[in-house]
A and B are shown apart, each in its own frame.
Chain A
Amino acid sequence: MTAEPRRLECTEVVENLYGYLDEELTAEVKAAVRAHISQCPDCFDHCQFERAFLRFLEARSRAQNAPPELKKRIFEQILLDRTRDA
């Protein structure tokens, strides 16, 4: 038998939404948030919205990779570095 997850109010769920989406909650709180979301359409929508927001942020930075000339400069710099480091 698994224990019933603790009941949470909507405000507590909203406070914990980022922790939930970031996978930073304890197992107990996570289960309580999940149980609430599965039964509360408002919190479900809110969770989906915040998830979309975080995905949007992540997508917007991904296109920026180090320019090839920078990579080349760093390779050369390392190859030529003769500084003793011990």
Chain B
Amino acid sequence: MPQTADEKRSAFEREALPHLDTVYRVALRFTGEPAKAQDLVQDTMLKAFRSWHRYETGTNVRAWLLTILRNTFINEYRKEKQRGPTVDISTAETFSLFDKVQEEDPEGRFFDQIIDDEVLQAVDDLPDEFRETLVLSDMEGMTYQEIADVTGAPVGTVKSRLFRARRALQRRLYDYAVEMGYIKRRSP
């Protein structure tokens, strides 16, 4: 049954708009800049509103919105973004932060000393597919299946990307913490 314009608008406001903060946070990590993130969110929400008839009531609206966000980013924004990742993923798997700090700080208390900007920059410097997986999981709390639905990757790939992204991030934050004097470097 077709909705009237008012019904559509109120359904969208009720179901989609509560996810605006999530959409914005993910957009920030995708674009790396607040102004671009705002444009991306605005484009995403307008597209979502215009294709609201394709959203099936009762299904995962957050994943649906983030899929639109991701497609919009890839098709219209990513090419503008010129920043190469600086985090090396290829050797991340073998790094274990716990092994490095186990003796000195097994509870990870030094995490509290790391400023937000440093953490977010480290996330931003991950290669695209690792960054999006980590952001959706560790910043937005999505399940492996939800992330698979949004990114189009198989669940097994989501799992292995997440493992490597977390380890790569740990290595980067370890180097930072050592440099800042929060912990001592431990030879391998």
Contact = CB atoms under 8 A, between A and B. Distances in A.
A61 B13 CA distance: 24
A81 interface: yes
Contact of A66 (B29, B41, B134): B41
Interface class of chain B by DSSP: helix
Contacts of A22: 137, 143-144, 162
A1 interface: no
Chain B interface size, under 10 / 10 to 19 / 20 to 34 / 35 or more: 35 or more
Interface residues of A, number: 36
B94 to A, nearest CB: 12
A57 B138 contact: yes
A69 B69 CA distance: 19
Given A49-B108, A56-B108, A70-B38, 17 more contacts: A14-B96, A18-B159, A18-B166, A22-B162, A49-B101, A53-B97, A53-B108, A57-B119, A60-B139, A61-B140, A65-B24, A70-B24, A70-B41, A71-B20, A74-B20, A74-B46, A85-B51
Interface of B: 2, 9, 12-13, 17, 20-21, 23-25, 28-29, 34, 38, 41-42, 45-46, 49-53, 96-98, 101-102, 106-108, 111-112, 114, 116, 119-120, 134-135, 137-141, 143-144, 159, 162-163, 166, 169-170
A67 B76 CA distance: 22
Contacts of A77: 42, 45-46, 49
B50 A81 contact: yes
Overall SS of chain A's interface: helix
B144 A78 contact: no
Contacts of B101: 49
